[in-house]
């Protein structure tokens, strides 16, 4: 008896069946579950996007530096006035620290952030002709800019998927889903990168952040309404 080759639809059906089977005993491998995670989160959060208001790479870089230990909503309250007063790196590079401090005070750590913002702007002007650089290597040496911030700017302002932005939501959700067992953001990023298509990396971060903010909450995950519960080893239903 001949055996017909199985199509992609059949394989997808099998995967769905496997992932709906009793948890912890028949979960599909992470690489297979990752495909389903991405598909379902896209469907659940079709509007997932960067929550920091910005019009260009400079504005996004400033907003991302301000977002450390601060909510995106709070940053969005502060940035309109900041961008009106300092519309580009050249203006920010010449700013009086006390003026910037006053404007961004409500975002917390305002002295450090002011140092980072003005230092970043001065470096962009001095070393990059006033243009925010487009490579991880050059972004990361700017004051106040780490890998996470560089990933945000590259992925969202330039459409360059160099890595995956790992914030607290991405880290928590990825661990709960069993896509990583790491705590360190760089190691988590390294685990996630081979699981998802490169062109989706920026969107993936937004999807996991939306999911972490609305459903997979830090203290009380809403597993009962989670579209990923059948493929999550941490589901508490
Ligand atoms: S099932 Fe629960 S723990 Fe797992 S991703 Fe969904 S909300 Fe988070």
Query: Would you say 208 and 173 are in contact if contact means Cβ atoms under 8 Å apart?
Result: yes
Q: Which residues contact 134 (CB under 8 A, 6 or more apart)?
A: 154, 158, 160
pLDDT tens for each residue of 138-184: 999 999 999 999 999 999 999 999 999 999 999 999 999 999 999 99
Judge if the beta carbon of residue 28 lies within 6 A of ligand 1: no
Answer whether residue 80 shows pLDDT above 70: yes
* Residue 231 in contact with ligand 1 by CB distance below 6 A: no
25: pLDDT strictly greater than 70: no
The token pair that represents 113 in the structure block: 């952030």
Span 67-95, average pLDDT: 97
Q: What separation in angstroms does the CA of 11 have from each of 16, 18, 31, 41, 181?
A: 9, 10, 14, 20, 27
Residue 203 pLDDT:
98
| pLDDT tens digits, one per residue of 104-146 | 999 999 999 999 999 999 999 999 999 999 999 999 999 999 9
200-205 long-range contacts (CB < 8 A, ≥24 apart) are 200/38, 200/161, 201/155, 201/161, 201/163, 201/164, 202/155, 202/156, 202/159, 202/161, 202/165, 203/42, 203/48, 204/38, 204/164, 205/151, 205/155, 205/164, 205/165, 205/166, 205/167, 205/170
At residue 153, the pLDDT reads: 98
Res 1 pLDDT > 60:
no
Question: Which of 19, 229, 230, 231 is the best mutation target for the ligand 1 pocket, counting ligand atoms within 8 Å of the beta carbon and taking the most?
Answer: 229
Q: For residue 26, what pLDDT is reported?
A: 75
Residue 2 has pLDDT above 50, yes or no: no
- By CB atoms closer than 10 A (0-12, 13-18, 19+), residue 179 is buried
**Has residue 32 got a pLDDT over 90?**
yes
Distance (Å, rounded) from C-alpha 161 to C-alpha 65? 19
- What pLDDT is stored for residue 27 in this prediction? 85
Half-sphere exposure of 163 (CA within 13 A, CB side): 22
For residue 17, the CA-to-ligand 1 centroid distance in Å is 18
Cα of 92 vs centre of ligand 1, distance in Å, is 42
| Whole-Å CA distances, 145 to 12, 67, 118, 158 | 41, 12, 12, 16
* pTM for the structure as a whole: 0.86
According to the model, what pLDDT value does residue 236 have?
86
Question: Among 188, 224, 210, which Cα is nearest to 44's?
Answer: 210
Q: What is the pLDDT of residue 237?
A: 60
Higher pLDDT, 40 or 1: 40
For residues 189-195, give the mean pLDDT. Answer: 98
> Percent of the chain having pLDDT more than 70?
89
Q: Using a 6 Å cutoff on CB, does residue 16 contact ligand 1?
A: no
Span 29-44, average pLDDT? 96
């Amino acid at each position: 008896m001949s055996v017909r080759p199985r199509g992609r639809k059949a394989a997808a059906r099998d995967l769905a069946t496997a992932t709906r089977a009793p948890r912890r005993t028949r979960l599909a491998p992470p690489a297979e579950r990752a495909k389903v995670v991405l598909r379902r989160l896209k469907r659940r959060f079709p509007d997932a996007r960067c929550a920091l208001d910005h019009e260009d790479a400079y504005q996004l870089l400033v907003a991302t530096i301000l977002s450390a230990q601060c909510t995106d909503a709070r940053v969005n309250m502060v940035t309109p006035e900041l961008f009106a007063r300092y519309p580009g790196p050249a203006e920010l590079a010449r700013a009086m620290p006390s003026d910037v401090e006053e404007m961004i005070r409500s975002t917390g750590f305002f002295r450090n952030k002011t140092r980072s913002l003005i230092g970043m702007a001065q470096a962009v002007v001095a070393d990059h002709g006033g243009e925010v650089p487009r490579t991880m290597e050059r972004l990361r040496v700017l004051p106040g800019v780490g890998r996470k911030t560089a990933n945000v700017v590259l992925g969202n302002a330039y459409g360059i998927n160099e890595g995956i932005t790992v914030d607290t939501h991405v880290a928590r959700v990825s661990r709960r889903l069993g896509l990583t067992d790491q705590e360190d953001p760089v190691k988590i990023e390294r685990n996630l990168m081979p699981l998802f298509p490169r062109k989706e990396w920026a969107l993936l971060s937004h999807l996991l952040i939306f999911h972490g903010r609305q459903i997979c909450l830090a203290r009380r995950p809403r597993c009962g309404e989670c579209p990923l519960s059948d493929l999550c080893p941490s589901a508490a239903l």
